[in-house]
Structure 1
Amino acid sequence: MPNIKSAIKRVKVNEKANAANAQAKSAMRTTVKKAEQAIATGAENTQELVVAASKALDKAASKGLIHKNAASRKKSRLAKKA
């Protein structure tokens, strides 16, 4: 544990950010998985789920959770499957 006050604060801030990022990334993955499952089963709301997944990928890319090219690649593959 750091002794310097600013370093202590950085540790706290980093822990908070790490938790928020992990939660956002997990939510993004869940949304993508739901869309993929809907495509595989041929559900009625497939298009809605694909749009939601695409939005989640864009949001994750804008926050820096994943690279923008990775988001683009995942969106393209999802659209191709649909």
Structure 2
Amino acid sequence: ADVAAAGVKWLESARLTDVVLDFSDVSKASSAAISVLFEWLRACHSLGIVVTSIALSAPLERLTSLAELDALIGSPNAEA
């Protein structure tokens, strides 16, 4: 929760127009990492920041596929 909140705070203050979310170094499949990703995606959407791409590690790709979340991650700028 602290990482998600810190990221949202940074997104709010950075005044970005676009961003790349890179989770490729996350070594273990973790629902916490996916929660952080979705919190940041919601923040980007509400702030009008375009998510250029999302990079996931192999373990996170497997987890998102099992949870059937890969379509949401594949279209990060669509409204959830």
More strand by share: 2
Q: Larger Rg: 1 or 2? A: 1
- TM-score, normalised on structure 2? 0.41
Identify the structure with bigger relative contact order (alpha carbons < 8 Å, sequence gap 6+): 2
Greater share of helix: 1
| TM-score (norm: length of structure 1) | 0.40
